[in-house]
Amino acid sequence: MARRSRVAVEAEDTELNMTPMLDVVFILLIFFIVTSVFVKTPGFEPSKPEAITDVDLPPGIIVAISRENEIWIDKMPYDINEIRPVILALRDENPKAGGIIQGDKEAQAGIVMQVQELMTDLGIDTRVSTD
């Protein structure tokens, strides 16, 4: 009898209690879901200029400027005069996001700086993306 119960207890002890592991896994999962930011890619891949001093940028509001100076935001091209409400809407969705301007090598410098100024005025910390 005694032996039997000991054996029985040992058999129960080797069953793995997975509750703590599930707790950790769920917490990690929920953490990553909550901290994931849905970044809207511009829909256009410009050929960016190269830079030596470039640093890694966290994803945020991405604006691409093509050679023809079309401004691509969230898969739609815009003109420089039309982008303010679009960027405002994106900023309101994600207030703490940084801005990234992917300007093509042959995009006009004036347009790039104008977009940067617009985004900075809206309170978005903006950088120009390079290769």
Partner 1 sequence: MRRRVRHGGDDADVDMTPMLDIVFIMLIFFIVTATFLDETGIDLTQPPPPPNQDNLDDSKSAISVYVDGKNRCSVDGRGSDCDRVVLTVESLLADKPGASIILKVHELADNLYLVGLKDSFDDKGLTSKIEIIKG
Positions touching partner 1 (CB under 8 A) are 8, 12, 15, 18, 22, 25-26, 28-29, 32-33, 35-36, 39, 49-57, 59, 62, 65, 100-114, 116, 120, 125-131
**Minimum Å distance from CB 54 to partner 1?**
4
Written as one letter, the residue type at 114 is Q
**Minimum Å distance from CB 69 to partner 1?**
10
Query: Would you say 11 or 92 has its CB closer to partner 1?
Result: 11
Tell me the angle at which helices 109-121 and 83-93 cross, rounded to the nearest 10 degrees. Answer: 40
CA distance 65 to 116: 11
**Minimum Å distance from CB 128 to partner 1?**
5
Exposed, middle or buried, 3 (CB in 10 Å: 0-12/13-18/19+)? exposed
